Amino acid sequence: MTTLQLKDLPEVPLEAESISPDRFIGKTADEIAALPVNVGNRKACLGEFFAVSGDGGPEIVLEGDLARVKLIGAGMTQGQIHVRGNAGMHLGAGMRGGRIMVDGAVGDWAGAEMQGGHIHIRGNAGHCLGAGYRGSPKGMNRGVIIVDGDAGNEAGTAMRRGLIVIGGNSGDFTGAFMIAGTVVVFGELGERTGAALKRGTVVAFKPPRLLPSYRYACTYAPPFMGLLLRHLAGLGVAVPEAYLHGRYRRYSGDMTALGKGEILVWEAA
Amino acid sequence: MYLNGVEIEETFAEAFKMWGSRVIITACNARWAMIAATTMTGFATSVIGCKCEAGIEGVATDTPDGRPGVSVLLFTPGKEDLPKRLMERIGQCVLTCPTTACFNGLDSPLTMPIGGQLRFFGDSFQASKLVGGRRFWRIPVMEGEFLIEEKFGMQRAVGGGNFLILGEDAEVTLRAAECAAAAMRQAPGVILPFPGGIVRSGSKTSSRYKALIASTNDAYCPTLRGITDTALPEGVNSVLEIVIDGLDLAAVEEATRVGVRAACIPGIRRISAGNYGGTLGQFQIHLCRVLEGQA
């Protein structure tokens, strides 16, 4: 296990894509400290900002308020990162495997365009959680993101596959432009949920304000929801007992797009 | 050897290589799960006439969707037959049954795209979901939605394990067979494909008629004693057979052990087993060795 203790909060955001098990494995603490980072318009090394200790194994522990440290675990394919505090933008962006656990909050674009792996954020997440970058045809494509708190706007935008679970509230445009995949929101949803969604599922446990381009289909109890909620419980998501029962109002949409997606709105039994 | 005063013949059951799968059927309640399972396993007693052998393994607990479930095992002689039979039976008996969902119950590197084929019933309205690395298909149906896993596992299995219960009369022989079947249903990984788990018409693999590949096992027919080369000792007036299919040899042996012990009740004269002299089957389940725990 490698531990990185933040020494000083950088004045400008630190781009630390090198904080990844793929880059740490097999290196000594000194070699890890020498890995490059970008701070503002200059290049620096990790050791300038972090006290590094440990053996360069597949597990990394980050300590301190890393809200200004971007790209932690971006592109990682294996191992585990535990952030004991907050994390900055682009956490786990493009990751393909491994696990990231954040005890605090994270900035925007967490898990953006990720292609595998597991991110669990115990605090809040910023905007564009699991989304596709501007101009990209698709966002998250496999993998799981769990946010215990709230998420900002555009969570799951253009996601192609995968699962996003938001324990609290979600902002506007949740699941907008989704191609497929599943977004589960236990709290309130903002405006324009599922706008231009082609396929995929948004599950709402609080009634959302729906776009007029969604059509009510039926009220039923899909066996899939039992499967999904049990899976979430296995992932450590606290699923309230009441949600294991009841039915769902299915709205098909978005009719401005392909119209093969759905918003499932839970109703108490 | 003798068990509870019943002679255990020094012989063996001859069993065959088969291919097996396990299907977990869930429904809104245990009754509908059992209806679907019973329908799916109907007319599946013997590959001789039914193309497959299938049965209910037991009640499934901790099902993928958390609903009441039943575990079904289905066996075929050939690897290529198994997906065909599963497609037919799940498509006609489970898909059609109200409230059901259907999941793979066998973790195996060899898989068959059962849900991946049945999904086309959805006429392009089907939707796929990837949950925990497993793909499922949600197929819209008139009642609501049918959920089925894309791939089902298959593995080499053992079919045709058996033993014969030779009793003093039909009543006690049936009672012994019922005791055996009840005990064997508790054993995991096996099914007893015949009605109630019991066969009254055991067969031999030959016939005096050219068109038939099997015919009545005359050596064990009490009515033919005296006109055929009988295998029945004095005092035996009825014989019943228990046939066992299992996911592996150990499961079949364990079921045999449990079943034979349960069948040894007063009025039973002998426990024997069906074989072809060891010339046809790939597995030999020696009754005495199994009972002594040496198998």
Domains of chain B: 2-14+157-291 (3.30.70.520), 19-155 (3.30.70.520)
pLDDT at residue A269 greater than cutoff 90: no
Residue whose C-alpha is closest to residue B63's, from B189, B186, B149, B184: B149
Residue B295 or residue B117, greater confidence: B117
Q: Contact B20/B75 with Cβ under 8 angstroms?
A: yes
Which chain A residues contact residue B125 at CB under 8 A? 260
Grade residue A162 by pLDDT with cuts at 50, 70 and 90: very high
Helix or strand (DSSP H, E) at B258: helix B249-263
A141 inside 8 A of chain B by CB? no
Which chain B residues contact residue A222 at CB under 8 A? 138, 144-145, 147
Residue whose C-alpha is closest to residue B75's, from B245, B253, B192, B252: B245
Chain B interface test: which of A199, A224, A229, A231 (most B C-beta within 10 Å): A224
- Which region among A13-17, A167-171, A173-177, B46-50 has the lowest average model confidence (pLDDT)? B46-50
Contacts of B99 (CB under 8 A, 6+ apart): A223, B27, B28, B29, B32, B143, B144
CA distance A245 to chain B (A): 11
Q: What CA–CA distances, in Å, run from B32 to A43, A245, B21, B37, B69? A: 66, 18, 21, 9, 9
In percent, the amount of chain A with pLDDT more than 70 equals 100
Q: Do B130 and A226 touch (CB under 8 A)?
A: no
pLDDT at residue A116 greater than cutoff 70: yes
State the average pLDDT for chain B.
Answer: 96
pLDDT at residue B294 greater than cutoff 90: no
Grade residue B276 by pLDDT with cuts at 50, 70 and 90: confident
Beta bridge partner(s), residue A202: A183, A263
Residue whose C-alpha is closest to residue B97's, from B23, B24, B27, B29: B27
CA distance B61 to chain A (A): 14
> What pLDDT does B231 receive?
95
Its sign, for the CA torsion B72, B77, B82, B84, is negative
Q: Do B130 and A220 touch (CB under 8 A)?
A: no
Counting one residue from A and one from B, how many pairs have CB atoms under 8 Å apart? 55
Selecting from B28, B99, B136 the residue whose C-beta is nearest the C-beta of A224 gives B136
A12 inside 8 A of chain B by CB? no
Distance linking the first and last C-alpha atoms of chain B: 15
Which chain B residues contact residue A252 at CB under 8 A? none
User: Region B88-105: what's the mean pLDDT?
Assistant: 98
CA distance A25 to chain B (A): 26
**Three-state SS string across chain A, please?**
CEEEEECCCCCCCEECCCCCHHHHCCCCHHHHHCCEEEECCEEEEHHHCEEEEECCCCEEEEECCECCEECCCCCCCCCEEEEECCECCCCCCCCCCCEEEECCCECCCCCCCCCCCEEEECCCCCCCCCCCCCCCCCCCCCCEEEECCCECCCCCCCCCCCEEEECCCECCCCCCCCCCCEEEECCCECCCCCCCCCCCEEEECCCCCCCCCCEEEEEECCHHHHHHHHHHHHCCCCCCHHHHCCEEEEEEECCCCCCCEEEEEEECC
User: Region A90-112: what's the mean pLDDT?
Assistant: 98
Q: Do A220 and B26 touch (CB under 8 A)?
A: no
Q: Is the complex ipTM more than 0.90?
A: yes
User: Region B12-26: what's the mean pLDDT?
Assistant: 97
Chain A interface test: which of B28, B134, B138 (most A C-beta within 10 Å): B138
Chain B residue with minimum CA distance to A260 = B125
Which chain A residues contact residue B66 at CB under 8 A? 226-227, 229-230, 244
State the average pLDDT for chain A.
Answer: 96
Q: Contact A179/A159 with Cβ under 8 angstroms?
A: yes
Q: Contact B124/B94 with Cβ under 8 angstroms?
A: no
Its sign, for the CA torsion B213, B219, B222, B228, is positive
Which two tokens mark B3?
């068990």
Before A254, cis peptide (omega within 30)? yes
Q: What is the pLDDT of residues B164-187, one digit of tens each?
A: 999 999 999 999 999 999 999 999
> What pLDDT does A245 receive?
87
Contacts of the segment A72-76: beta carbons below 8 A, 24+ positions apart = A72/A16, A72/A19, A72/A100, A73/A19, A73/A20, A73/A98, A73/A100, A74/A17, A74/A20, A75/A17, A75/A20, A75/A22, A76/A20, A76/A21, A76/A22, A76/A100, A76/A117
Q: What is the pLDDT of residues B124-168, one digit of tens each?
A: 999 999 999 999 999 999 999 999 999 999 999 999 999 999 999
Chain B residue with minimum CA distance to A225 = B65
Beta bridge partner(s), residue A120: A101, A146
* Nearest-angstrom CA–CA distance, A169 and A185: 7
pLDDT at residue B267 greater than cutoff 80: yes
> What pLDDT does B209 receive?
95
Contacts of B250 (CB under 8 A, 6+ apart): none
Which chain B residues contact residue A199 at CB under 8 A? 127
Alpha helices, H only, B69-203? 81-89, 114-118, 170-184
pLDDT at residue A244 greater than cutoff 90: no
Residue whose C-alpha is closest to residue B74's, from B128, B20, B127, B6: B20
Which two tokens mark B211?
């068109």
Which two tokens mark B14?
């001859």
Chain A residue with minimum CA distance to B26 = A223
Which two tokens mark A93?
């962006």
Which chain B residues contact residue A162 at CB under 8 A? 130
Chain A interface test: which of B95, B123, B124, B130 (most A C-beta within 10 Å): B130
Q: Do B147 and A223 touch (CB under 8 A)?
A: yes
CA distance B82 to chain A (A): 26
> What pLDDT does B295 receive?
61
* Nearest-angstrom CA–CA distance, A44 and B242: 77
> What pLDDT does A126 receive?
98
pLDDT at residue A127 greater than cutoff 90: yes
pLDDT at residue A96 greater than cutoff 80: yes
Which chain A residues contact residue B132 at CB under 8 A? 231, 234
CA distance A123 to chain B (A): 23
Phi and psi torsions of A229, nearest 5°: -65, -35
